[in-house]
Each structure stands twice: as structure tokens, then as C-alpha cells.
């Protein structure tokens, strides 16, 4: 180590003082010059490696450097002002405490950030996100927060003596500014949580608990580290980089908070009592709101388990219930809140992985399907069907197997769209490998029986009606830890008559479900019974069953349980009358009669269009399938668009009519979830203004009920002869408005389709031709002479279903009661009846129910006798037709 | 010739040129003080000591024409590097232009006057 003599020190100080004065006189910075010269003197002396520095050594170096050596003076010279070097050089070790503190200043924020990122990706419950508030609403926030451990890591390295490469200093200065802004920002947000965190810190130290309490302390620890080394990357006048970083980060954080303020503002407007303000709020949210922020609120989970929220969160004061928020979300964005994909495909399984499932099933035992629950899957799907073209009927059995990988029991719930006109006529549950049949009774009775058994955690399954051609199925419990549960629905369906000689059949699909389809490999379908059965697509294989009947079967893609398939088509013999024994009331016979009428074309067809998000393309495709002209008819269109109703005046359906439709569509603003009720009402009124008119309603799914269907129901109930509403839903999904239009004779569902052009084309073709094909089923005591006898249980059920609908349409309590009794008698799920399978005979008895007997249960495979009878009937019919032609 | 006259003139000339030479040297890349001093010494007649150079560099820094940065060195004390700022580059360009024009003008004055 080098020692200095006192005289040498004095000499150096005098020389430097003098040089500093001279430099100041020339306009230079005296301190800087003194510092530079001092450094050079020290370097030169160090190079000489002297052990004791004397005045001669100092003089020699000063001369070498060109610094005048002051003359020796007796008087004590004025002490040279101790010059500070321009920048403090880094010291290798400034103490263990500082080193440890600097280590924590990057380590703790790093761990906190990593934990919160992991919690966000894997939905860990023990995280700041769940306990307090979400510190990472976006990945940009994570990037900003990451600057804190990065900058403090550089500072820690500096403290430990590792020089930071000089080329990174400008970047580090900017990052320092960013990190400071971020630390202050989160420090303010966590202020309310600080007491809890400090208590937790004591708990960590004393009880050795987890590190969770350190998460809220992370911004303060990071801030300490930043302040401890804020000079280490800096030089005089180099604070601009830090200021730029600080300003930029603050502005960015404020800008991101702006979206929260915008969302809060939009929510306040959307939740207003004033309809005009609601519309403004919805449109504001659609334009400026933060969709993911609103979706987060819709889940209904408390944002702070301890009641401490984010002080800077403007949505903190939003007191709306999750149901209200979900409705507002749907109106603004036209999608369920639990779909994370903003684009949102309506069909197929493309959105399956973007669906957020929850761990806790809030809807268990309730009346709604609700949100998806984690761990519950549809493992297998099988449809067995038998068609009877002669009787224009079919029977399908849909067997579903659910699997549950969660650690708790689950209830599987789904809303199913039946083929148009279909009715559930059988329900079976497998209990310990044995099939148990359902009891059919009044809706409230079966529901009560189901809920009671669910609470006892036994095995029931329930099917009830929830709209035109829609049923809700609930089964519980699907056992946990890989357990499975299997149910079967039997559906009796009237075939759709395309002409006297052809018919079509659609398959049931899921509209809404709380289970995923990720485990479903395929949808196995087997349809038999028609000589000429055709299906689109290459997945079908033709075969014959053991009874010699022709069949089509295929292992279809899993998406077909949502999207359905193009209708199966078949030829039918154009017979006029068939009789079937009634399997329930054995003294009765069901007569099925076919008639072809010439029907006047509708005078006016009003199209009610849904301009919700994603509907533009499907509607354009559907309308392209319309005929270019319809002689004698008028066309009008009404649209639910932009939270309002747009409409056109009726005009003749001639050349140019479809161009007008195209222009009308082009002027619509598609977006959000539109309220179709006012548009449908307007369309009905337009149609009712002219006799023999009808409404075609083209719409997508509608997960929320925005306004009630009461006004429309009133019109349709009070005008039984009024315009009919034909409903075509494009895309799988529930529609809450459709669920309210049950039991109306003037309403007819044409099905849920992936694409409407085919359905619309068929629908128009028959009506343009002016023909209508009627099937009338009546129950008589004696068969009429000459009628062909067919042994089929389905005709009776279809007769009963029609009777129930007729009774309900009268809207008289006595008739409604009769309808319920008839439905229960014929084992049908209707608006006034349901089906429930209970585990034991005792449970049935306690509920006052009796299950369907196996002898009356409908089955898919026909008896050989039935086939022979059908062939015989066809032969007799053929003979009669031949004789009639001979006579003419 | 008076030797004092030449000496005085050289001193004045060095004073005028020193700043230009320092800026030109820095335009080739950043340097620390000692290194800069060595480069300036290569200019004939322009010997300069560090005692003269550091005040000049300080003036240039205060004028915003150069910036400095400290670099830690594993084999000695920290070094202060100097480099030109954009303003420094612009000033250097102007100074070099002026210098060139003055030199050309001075050379022209040596030629005989043209007769009208």
C-alpha cells in the first residue's frame, strides 16, 4: 500500500487548487479538471510503485503532466478544496447488508412475478390474483414488472464487484426509469394490502409459512433496490434516460388504466334504468371497453378474499351482480363471457379449447345449464335410429356416456335441440350396469323428485322441456376420479315431408352443455329402415341389418353433436292411410292419413334478421338461396341491429327484390348480441297487416334474454289464425327468446342448422310450388276399412304429442291438465311433463311416480313381424294403385 | 527575425488549433485523456500536456460538444472516455470548413496580384 508524506499531499493539493483556479478562469469546470488531474497523478504514481510518495515524486509527475508546481511556501496554503471525482467509482463491497438487500430487491420481485404468471396460466388459487387483485391483466404488464428484477439484478452485480458492460448503461438508465414508475405504481395499488402482508411476513419468519405474503411486498422491496443504486449507472447530466423511462412507463400504465375507466363508464351507462343510456353504454363498451376485464367480473368470483381490492381499480365500485354483468357482456360482444376467443366461431369445436371452465359448479341441481365445469366430458355418443317412411315417422335413441376426471362429483347438464316436431318418449339410465327406465309425469313433480335425490347424492337423470323442440337433460352424479355415467334418450320424430314421395330426417344436437367434448372420438350413428336412405358426406357406409333392412351408418366427427348433419333423405311410398295399434290404450287404433293440398302461396313473407356478431356471412348465404321472384307474394325485412330495429316497407317479390335485401343488409351494423324480440314483434305486425302472411326468423344463438317475449306471445295467443313464425337458428347454442315461445300454435321451429341455405331452399320450394303435405293422426276405436295395418308404437306417440300441443294451445287450465295427463300416459316429455329416472323403486314410490314398463318402451330394432306387415301393406297399396290406373 | 515574434505566433497558432485538433481526434472514435494527448502530440508543433488538455476538454464538455463516460478497468483505476456529441460533430464540421476556407484564402494571398 502506498503512503503519502504530509508535504507531498500539501504540494499536490496546492498544485491542483492552482490548476483549478486557472481552469475556472478559462471557463472550464474547476472540480472536473482537479478530479481528472488527481486521477492522472495517482495513476502515474501507482505506475512507479513507490511505497512512500514524497514531494519530489509529486513534483516530477506534475511536471510530466504539464501542471505548474507551486513554489514551496512557509505559510500554510489554503486547503485545496477536496475535489470530488465526477463519478464515484464503484466499490467492490459496500457491506453485507447492502449486498443482501440488493439480492432481495431482484429475487423477491422475480419470484413474485414468476408465481403470478404461473397462477394465471394454471389457475392456482393461492395467488395475488385470487386473494387481492390481478396484477397482470395483460402480458404487457408482466413485461413492465419484469424491468424491476432486471434493473435490480444489474445493480446487485455492480455491488458485488462485477462491472456492468458500459454499452448497456443507456438501456439500463431507461429501464431504471421504467422500473421506478412500475414500483411506485404497484406500491400505491398494494397500500391497502400492506398490513396483511406485513403480518404475513411475521408469520413467515415465525411460523415458516409460505412466501405468499412477500408478493404484495415485492414492489416495495424492488423500489428500495432501485433507490439504493440509482447513481450506479449515471453520470452528471445523464438523467434524461431515466426520466424518459419513468415518463414512458407512467404514461403506458395510465393508458392501460384508461381502458378500465372506459369499461367502468360503459358499465354504468349500460346498467342504467334509462333504455337510451343502456344502448349508449352497450355501444360504448363494444367500442372502448376492455372485454377481458368485463369477462373477469362476469365470473362472479370475489376479487379479494380479504376484502382488500385494488385501490386504482375503477371497477372496484361496480356493484352489479354477475348475472347483470353477463347480460351486459352478451349485449356488448354477442358471446358468452366464458369464451376467451374474441373472434368466436359459432360452430364446431374450434372454440372448445378457448372455453373457460370453472371448478365450482354453481348451477348444480338448478334449472339452467350454466357454465362449463372442469373435468366433465362427453366420452361417447351413439345414435341408433329407425325410420318408417310410410308412416312419416322415425325413432332415434341417443346414448350418451359422461366421464368425470375431477376430484368431486359432477352433474352433467345439456340443452338438446330435437329434430323439428320431435318429442322425447323414452329415458334410460344405467345403474350398476342395469338399465332403469324413467317415470313420466307432471313437470314440477319430476323436478321435485330429481332435486330431492340430487341432494341425497343418489343417481337420477331428468329430462324436461325448455322451448320449442328443446329439452334439458340433467344427470347426477357423474362419479369423480374417472367415473362414468350412461344415459339414453328415445326421441320420436315426424319425418319432414319434402314431397309426397320423399322425406327427410335431422338428428338431435347439443345447444348448450356444461361438459367438454375433448374426449369424444366420434359420434356413431346407425339409421335403418328405408329402402332408399341417402346422406351427404363420405363418412357413411351402407349396410343391411340382421332383419334384412337397409341401413346407413358412420362414425361421424365429434362436431356433429353440435353442428348436426345435412338431413338424411329417403323415398317413401305415396300411400294415403295406415293404421297402427295403440300400445298404451290397447282398445284404440291410430289412423295416419296423408293428404296433399294445393295451398295458396303466402301473401307476404317478412324476414326477421338477427344482426348479432358473426351473423352477416351466414345471413348473406341464406338469403342467396331465396328464389329470385315469388309471383303473387310480397317481401319485407326487419332487422335487430345496433340495439334498434331497422325495417323496410313491403314490396312485391319480383326482380330486384333480392337486390333490395342485399342493400338493406349492407347498411346494417352487425355486432354484439342483439335483442331480437322487438324486431320479431315488428315483423309479426307487418305480416299480420295482410292475411295469409308469415314470418321467417333467421337468427343465431342468444345466450341472454334481453327483453321478454310476452308481447309476442300475447299477439300469437290472441290471434290463432295470425301469421306463423318459422324459426331457423343458424349455429349451435341456446336461445333464451326461443325458450319463451313454447306451446304456441303459430310458432314452428325449422331446426338448428350450421347453414341455413339448404333449409331455406327446401322451405321455399314447397311453398312456391303451392303444395302442402299434411299428415293427420287420429285415434279411433275401429280401423277404417281398407286401411293398411302397420305395427308401430311411434304413431301413437306422435298422435299424443299433437293432441297435447292442441290442448295446450287453448290456454285453458282444464285443457292443460288433460294435456299433462295425456303426456304422462304416453310417456312424453312436453311443456307440462317431464321424465325422471330414480335409482330405486322406493325413491319412485316416495315421489309418487312409476317408471315406464319395459313392455311399452319403444325400441329401435323392429320385430320381424313388423317388417313383414309393412311389406304386406306396401304390396296391398301397390295393387290398389295399379287397379285404379287400369280403370282410368 | 525576432525569435520571440515566431514563438508568440506559434503559441497563438497552437491555441487556435488545439481545440480543432482535439475535436478531429475525437471524431475518429472515443478516447481517454492520456490517449488523446498522445494523438495530439503527433501533430507537428502541437505538443500539449495533460495539464493543458483537461481544462480544454472540460470546456468542450460544458459547451455540449463532447460527453464523457467512466469505464471500470480491471487492471487499474477507472478511465474517463471522451466522445463527440452531435452538436460537437456539427461544430467540428463548421470549424473544418472555416479552416479550409481560411487556408485557401491564405494560400491565394501568396500569389502575385493579377493586373487589371
Interface test with B, best of A61, A65, A90 (most B CBs within 10 A): A65
DSSP-assigned letters across all residues of A674-735: --HHHHHHHHHHHHHTSSSEEEEEEE--B-S--S-SHHHHHHHHH-TTS-EEEEEEESSS-B
pLDDT, position A489:
95
Mean pLDDT of A695-708: 92
Beta carbons of B70 and A43 less than 8 Å apart = no
Minimum Cα–Cα distance from B64: chain A residue: A237
Mean pLDDT by 10 residues, chain B (116 residues): 78 86 92 89 83 91 90 74 93 92 89 67
Q: Which residues on A lie below 8 Å from B35 (Cβ)?
A: none
pLDDT of residue A694: 92
- Interface residues from chain A to B (CB-CB < 8 Å): 19, 22-23, 26-29, 32-33, 36-37, 39-40, 42-43, 46, 62, 65-68, 86-87, 89-90, 163, 166, 169, 235
Q: Which residues of chain A neighbour B77 with C-beta distances below 8 Å?
A: 39, 42-43, 46, 89
Q: Indicate the residue of A32, A67, A235 with minimum beta-carbon distance to B69.
A: A235
Out of A36, A46, A67, whose CB is closest to B80? A36
Digit-coded pLDDT (tens) for A289-329: 888 778 877 776 544 444 445 555 666 656 677 788 889 99
Burial class (CB in 10 A: 0-12, 13-18, 19+), A99: middle
Asked if B70 and A89 come within 8 Å (Cβ–Cβ), the reply is yes
Of A27, A37, A166, the CB nearest to B54: A37
ipTM: 0.85
Cross-chain Cβ contact B68/A235 below 8 Å? yes
Closest CA to A166 of A266, A103, A235, A117: A235
Confidence at residue A1, expressed as pLDDT on a 0 to 100 scale: 65
Torsion of CA A83, A85, A90, A95, to 10 degrees: 20
pLDDT on residue A313: 62
Say how many Å lie between the first and final Cα of chain A, rounded.
135
Query: Cβ separation of A40 and B61 shorter than 8 Å?
Result: no
What is chain B's mean pLDDT, rounded? 86
pTM of the model: 0.67
User: Do residue A36 and residue B54 have CB atoms under 8 angstroms apart?
Assistant: yes
- A575-600: pLDDT as tens digits: 678 888 888 888 888 988 887 777 77
Contacts of A28 in chain B (CB under 8 A): 54-56, 58-59, 62
> What pLDDT was estimated at residue A682?
95
Residue B34: its chain A contacts at CB < 8 A?
40
Average pLDDT score over residue span A661-676 = 91
Query: What is the helix (H) or strand (E) element at residue A269, kind and residue range?
Result: helix A240-270
- Residues A426 and A399: their CA atoms lie apart, in Å, by 11
Instruction: Give percent of chain A with pLDDT exceeding 90.
Output: 31
**b/e map of B77-107 (b: 16 or more CB within 10 Å)?**
ebbbbbebbeebeebbeeeeeeeeeeeeeee
Would you say residue A501 has pLDDT above 60? yes
Establish whether the linkage from the previous residue to A477 is cis, with ω within 30° of 0. Answer: yes
Per the CB < 8 Å rule, is A86 touching B76? no
| Dist CA A600 CA A768 (whole Å) | 9
Q: What is the pLDDT of residue A91?
A: 47
Number of helical (H) and strand (E) elements in chain A, helices listed first? 25, 31
Over chain A, what is the mean pLDDT?
82
Q: Is A165 helix (H, G, I), strand (E, B) or coil?
A: coil
What's the pLDDT score for residue A454? 76
Contact A86 B70 (CB under 8 A): yes
Task: Write the secondary structure of A590-643 as one string of H (helix), E (strand) and C (coil).
Answer: EEEEEEEEECCCCCEEEEEEECCCCCHHHHHHHHHCCCCCCCCCEEEEEEEECC
Is the CB of B80 less than 8 angstroms away from the CB of A66? no
Q: Is B54–A169 a contact, with Cβ atoms under 8 angstroms apart?
A: no
Mean pLDDT, residues A820-827 taken together: 93
B33:A28 CB<8 A: no
Best of A21, A29, A69, A232 to disrupt the B interface (most B CBs within 10 Å) is: A29
Instruction: Please tell me which residue, A452 or A398, carries the higher pLDDT value.
Output: A398
Handedness of CA A162, A163, A167, A169 (dihedral sign): positive
* Residue of B55, B69, B76 with shortest CB distance to A26: B55
Q: Which of A117-131, A134-148, A160-174, A270-284 has the highest mean pLDDT?
A: A270-284
* Cβ atoms < 10 Å from Cβ of A523: 25
| B47 contact residues in A (CB cutoff 8 A) | none
Residue A553: pLDDT above 70? yes
pLDDT exceeds 60 at position A280:
yes
pLDDT of residue A238: 57
**CA separation, residue A666 to residues A641, A674, A757 (Å):** 12, 17, 19
Residue of B56, B67, B69, B72 to mutate, testing the A interface (most A Cβ within 10 Å of its Cβ): B72
Would the CB atoms of A32 and B61 count as touching at under 8 Å? Answer: yes
Give B-chain residues touching A169 at CB under 8 angstroms. 69
Chain B, residues 23-82, CB within 8 A of chain A, namely 33-34, 48-52, 54-59, 61-62, 68-72, 74, 76-78, 80
Query: Are residues B77 and A43, on separate chains, in Cβ contact within 8 Å?
Result: yes
CA distance B71 to chain A (A): 7
Size of interface A-B (CB pairs under 8 A): 77
CA dist., res. A831 & res. A523, Å (int): 29
Write out the DSSP string of A99-112. Answer: HHHHHHHHHHHHHH
Substitution target from A28, A87, A234, A236 for chain B, most B beta carbons within 10 A: A28
Q: Quick check: B14 contacting A, CB < 8 Å?
A: no
What residues of chain A lie within 8 A of the CB of B51, using their CB? 19, 37, 62, 65-68
β-pairing verdict for A376-388 and A523-528: parallel
Q: pLDDT confidence of A355, banded at 50, 70, 90?
A: low
Residue of B nearest to A67 (CA): B51
Q: Which residues of A touch B68 (CB under 8 A)?
A: 86, 235
CB contact under 8 A, A33 and B56: no
Mean pLDDT of A384-392: 90
Q: Which residues of B touch A170 (CB under 8 A)?
A: none
Question: With an 8 Å Cβ cutoff, are B55 and A67 in contact?
Answer: no
B103 touches chain A (CB under 8 A): no
CA distance A551 to A532: 9
B33, B51, B56: residue with CB nearest A19: B51
For residues A177-205, give the mean pLDDT.
76
Searching chain B, which residue's CA lies closest to the CA of residue A25? B55
Contact A27 B62 (CB under 8 A): yes
Between A378 and A765, whose confidence is greater?
A378
Distance CA A687, CA A812 (A): 27
Q: How many residues does chain B have?
A: 116
Which residues of B are less than 8 Å from A39 in CB distance? 77-78, 80
Amino acid at each position: 500500500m502506498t503512503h503519502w508524506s504530509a508535504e507531498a499531499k500539501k504540494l499536490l493539493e496546492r498544485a491542483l487548487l492552482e490548476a483549478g483556479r486557472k481552469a475556472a478562469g478559462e471557463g472550464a469546470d474547476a472540480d472536473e479538471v482537479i478530479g481528472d488531474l488527481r486521477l492522472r497523478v495517482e495513476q502515474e504514481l501507482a505506475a512507479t510503485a513507490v511505497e512512500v510518495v514524497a514531494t519530489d515524486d509529486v513534483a516530477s509527475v506534475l511536471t510530466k503532466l504539464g501542471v505548474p508546481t507551486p513554489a514551496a511556501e512557509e505559510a500554510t496554503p489554503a486547503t485545496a478544496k477536496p475535489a470530488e471525482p465526477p463519478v464515484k467509482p464503484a466499490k467492490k463491497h459496500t457491506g453485507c447488508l447492502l449486498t443482501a438487500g440488493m439480492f432481495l430487491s431482484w429475487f423477491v420481485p422475480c419470484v413474485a412475478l414468476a408465481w403470478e404468471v404461473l397462477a394465471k396460466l394454471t389457475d392456482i388459487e393461492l395467488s395475488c390474483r385470487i386473494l387481492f387483485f390481478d396484477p397482470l391483466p395483460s402480458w404487457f404488464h408482466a413485461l413492465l414488472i419484469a424491468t424491476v428484477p432486471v434493473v435490480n439484478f444489474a445493480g446487485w452485480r455492480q455491488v458485488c464487484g462485477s462491472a456492468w458492460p458500459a454499452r448497456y448503461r443507456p438501456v439500463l438508465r431507461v429501464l431504471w426509469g421504467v422500473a421506478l414508475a412500475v414500483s411506485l405504481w404497484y406500491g400505491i395499488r398494494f397500500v391497502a394490502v400492506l398490513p396483511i402482508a406485513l403480518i404475513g411476513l411475521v408469520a413467515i419468519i415465525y411460523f415458516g409459512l409460505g412466501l405468499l405474503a412477500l408478493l404484495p411486498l415485492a414492489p416495495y422491496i424492488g423500489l428500495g433496490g432501485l433507490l439504493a443504486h440509482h447513481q450506479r449507472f449515471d453520470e452528471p447530466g445523464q438523467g434524461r434516460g431515466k426520466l424518459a423511462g419513468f415518463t414512458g412507463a407512467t404514461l403506458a400504465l395510465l393508458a392501460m388504466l384508461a381502458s378500465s375507466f372506459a369499461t367502468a363508464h360503459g358499465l354504468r351507462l349500460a346498467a342504467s334504468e334509462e333504455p337510451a343510456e343502456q344502448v349508449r353504454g352497450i355501444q360504448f363498451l363494444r367500442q372502448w371497453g376492455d372485454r377481458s376485464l368485463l369477462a373477469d367480473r362476469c365470473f362472479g368470483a370475489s376479487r379479494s378474499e380479504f376484502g382488500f381490492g385494488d385501490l386504482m381499480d375503477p371497477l372496484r365500485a361496480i356493484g352489479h351482480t354477475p348475472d347483470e354483468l353477463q347480460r351486459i357482456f352478451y349485449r356488448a360482444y354477442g358471446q358468452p363471457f366464458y369464451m376467451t376467443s374474441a373472434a368466436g366461431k359459432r360452430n364446431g369445436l374450434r372454440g372448445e379449447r378457448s372455453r373457460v371452465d370453472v371448478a365450482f359448479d354453481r348451477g348444480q341441481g338448478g334449472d339452467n345449464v350454466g357454465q362449463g365445469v372442469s373435468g366433465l366430458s362427453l366420452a361417447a355418443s351413439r345414435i341408433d335410429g329407425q325410420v318408417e317412411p310410410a308412416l312419416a315417422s322415425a325413432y332415434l335413441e341417443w346414448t350418451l356416456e359422461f366421464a368425470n376426471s375431477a376430484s368431486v362429483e359432477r352433474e352433467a347438464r345439456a340443452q338438446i335441440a330435437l329434430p323439428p316436431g320431435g318429442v322425447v318418449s323414452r329415458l334410460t339410465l344405467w345403474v350398476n350396469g342395469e338399465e332403469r327406465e324413467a317415470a313420466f309425469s307432471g313437470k314440477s313433480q319430476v323436478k321435485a323428485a330429481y332435486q330431492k335425490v340430487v341432494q341425497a347424492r343418489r343417481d337420477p337423470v331428468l329430462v324436461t322441456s325448455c322451448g320449442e323442440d328443446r329439452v334439458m337433460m340433467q344427470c347426477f352424479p357423474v362419479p369423480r376420479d374417472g367415473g362414468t355415467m350412461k344415459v339414453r334418450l328415445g326421441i320420436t320424430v315426424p319425418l319432414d315431408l319434402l314431397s309426397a314421395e320423399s322425406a327427410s330426417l335431422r338428428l338431435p344436437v347439443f345447444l348448450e352443455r356444461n361438459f367438454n367434448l375433448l374426449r369424444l372420438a366420434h359420434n356413431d350413428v346407425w339409421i335403418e329402415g328405408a329402402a332408399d336412405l341417402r346422406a351427404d358426406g363420405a363418412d357413411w357406409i351402407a349396410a343391411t341389418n340382421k332383419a334384412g333392412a337397409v341401413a346407413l351408418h358412420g362414425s361421424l366427427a365429434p362436431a356433429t353433436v353440435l353442428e348436426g348433419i345435412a338431413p338424411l333423405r329417403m323415398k317413401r311410398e305415396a300411400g294415403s292411410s295406415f293404421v297402427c295399434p295403440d300400445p298404451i290404450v290397447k282398445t284404440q287404433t291410430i289412423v295416419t292419413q296423408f293428404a296433399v293440398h294445393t295451398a295458396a302461396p303466402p301473401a307476404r313473407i317478412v324476414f326477421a334478421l338477427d344482426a348479432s356478431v358473426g351473423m352477416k356471412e351466414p345471413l348473406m348465404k341464406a338469403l342467396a338461396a331465396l328464389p329470385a321472384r315469388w309471383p303473387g307474394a310480397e317481401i319485407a325485412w326487419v332487422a335487430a341491429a345496433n340495439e334498434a330495429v331497422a325495417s323496410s316497407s313491403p314490396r312485391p317479390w319480383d326482380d330486384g327484390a333480392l337486390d333490395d335485401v342485399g342493400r338493406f343488409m349492407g347498411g346494417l351494423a352487425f355486432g354484439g348480441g342483439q335483442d331480437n324480440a322487438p324486431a320479431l314483434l315488428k315483423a309479426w305486425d307487418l305480416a299480420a297487416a295482410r292475411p295469409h302472411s308469415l314470418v321467417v326468423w333467421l337468427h343465431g344463438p342468444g345466450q341472454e334474454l334481453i327483453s321478454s317475449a310476452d308481447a309476442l306471445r300475447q299477439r300469437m295467443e290472441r290471434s290463432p289464425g295470425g301469421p306463423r313464425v318459422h324459426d331457423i337458428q343458424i349455429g349451435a347454442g341456446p336461445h333464451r327468446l326461443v325458450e319463451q315461445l313454447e306451446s304456441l300454435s303459430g310458432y314452428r321451429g325449422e331446426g338448428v342448422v350450421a347453414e341455413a341455405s339448404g333449409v331455406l331452399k327446401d322451405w321455399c320450394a314447397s311453398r312456391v310450388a303451392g303444395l302442402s303435405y299434411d299428415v293427420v293422426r287420429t285415434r279411433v276405436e275401429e280401423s277404417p276399412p281398407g286401411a293398411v295395418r302397420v305395427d308401430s308404437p311411434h304413431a301413437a306417440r306422435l298422435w299424443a304429442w299433437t293432441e297435447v300441443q292442441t290442448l295446450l294451445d287453448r290456454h285453458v287450465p282444464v285443457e292443460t291438465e288433460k294435456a299433462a295427463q295425456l303426456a304422462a300416459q304416453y310417456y312424453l316429455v312436453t311443456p307440462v311433463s317431464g321424465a325422471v329416472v330414480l335409482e330405486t323403486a322406493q325413491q319412485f314410490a316416495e315421489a309418487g311416480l312409476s317408471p315406464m314398463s319395459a313392455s311399452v318402451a319403444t325400441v329401435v330394432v323392429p320385430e320381424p313381424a313388423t317388417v313383414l306387415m309393412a311389406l304386406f301393406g306396401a304390396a296391398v297399396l301397390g295393387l290398389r294403385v295399379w287397379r285404379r290406373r287400369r280403370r282410368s | 527575425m525576432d525569435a520571440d515574434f515566431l514563438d508568440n505566433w506559434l503559441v497563438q497558432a497552437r491555441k487556435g488549433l488545439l481545440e480543432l485538433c482535439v475535436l478531429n481526434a475525437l471524431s475518429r472514435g472515443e478516447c481517454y485523456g492520456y490517449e488523446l494527448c498522445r494523438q495530439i502530440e503527433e501533430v507537428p508543433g502541437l505538443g500539449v500536456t495533460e495539464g493543458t488538455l483537461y481544462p480544454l476538454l472540460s470546456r468542450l464538455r460544458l459547451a455540449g460538444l463532447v460527453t464523457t463516460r467512466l469505464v471500470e478497468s480491471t487492471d487499474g483505476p477507472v478511465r474517463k472516455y471522451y466522445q463527440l456529441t452531435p452538436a460537437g460533430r456539427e461544430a467540428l464540421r463548421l470549424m473544418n470548413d472555416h479552416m479550409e476556407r481560411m487556408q485557401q484564402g491564405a494560400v491565394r494571398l501568396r500569389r502575385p496580384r493579377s493586373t487589371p
